[in-house]
Amino acid sequence: MAARNTRLMHCTPDDLFAVLSDGWLYPVWVVGAARMRDVDPEWPREGARIHHSLGVWPVMIHDETELVEWDPPRRLRLRPEAGILGRGVIRIDVREHGDGIAVTILEEPVSGAASVLPSLLWKPLLTLRNHECLNRLAFLAEGRRQERKARELDHRTRTPEPADGSPSPEALRDVREAGV
């Protein structure tokens, strides 16, 4: 019985998976992850790990998360381990929805201290946390979409500049039209 959250995002699956593929961004969107210590060079390949810390200084738990399944644009599965807190499973499912995507995150503790607690205790906490995780992930992925659109617009409107440093024909025309 996993904690489950779904959020609509105004971006493409590629935008979302571009964020997920950058292991260094993990503490930006995962509530509780305080800092990154390392990212395996083969991330986001299955079996690769990211190494991060949970908590607030001076009480930090060194954690690592293994990538179990990498199936863009549909699914990501992670297996985080947080010392005495135990191991969990996280699945992120993505499906197209209207002009964006619906992203569902499911998380469940499978070993350690959290797994022996009744779901009545851990499920509401994970649901709240993952609600915020999806909000943060949306800000990152939707921001990538806006950045990509701005680059495309800039590319379409950019005028090639003469290599010799002289004013472009468009600049000269603008000056003549302005009567300068």
d(CA 101, CA 170): 41
- Per-residue model confidence as pLDDT tens digits over 153-179: 776 665 566 667 777 777 778 778 887
Beta bridge partners of 93: 75, 104
- Per-residue model confidence as pLDDT tens digits over 98-141: 999 999 999 998 987 777 887 888 899 999 999 999 999 999 99
Residue 162 pLDDT: 64
Q: Checking DSSP bridges between strand 33-39 and strand 49-56, what pairing results, if any?
A: antiparallel
Find the Cα–Cα–Cα–Cα dihedral 2, 130, 90, 126, rounded to 10°: -50
- Taken in order of first residue, the domains within the chain and their CATH numbers are 3-178 (3.30.530.20)
Q: Can you read off the two tokens belonging to residue 76?
A: 């990501």
Q: Checking DSSP bridges between strand 88-97 and strand 75-81, what pairing results, if any?
A: antiparallel
Give the mean pLDDT of 7-12: 96
What angle is formed at CA 83 by the lines to CA 82 and CA 85, rounded to 5 degrees?
70
Give the mean pLDDT of 71-87: 91
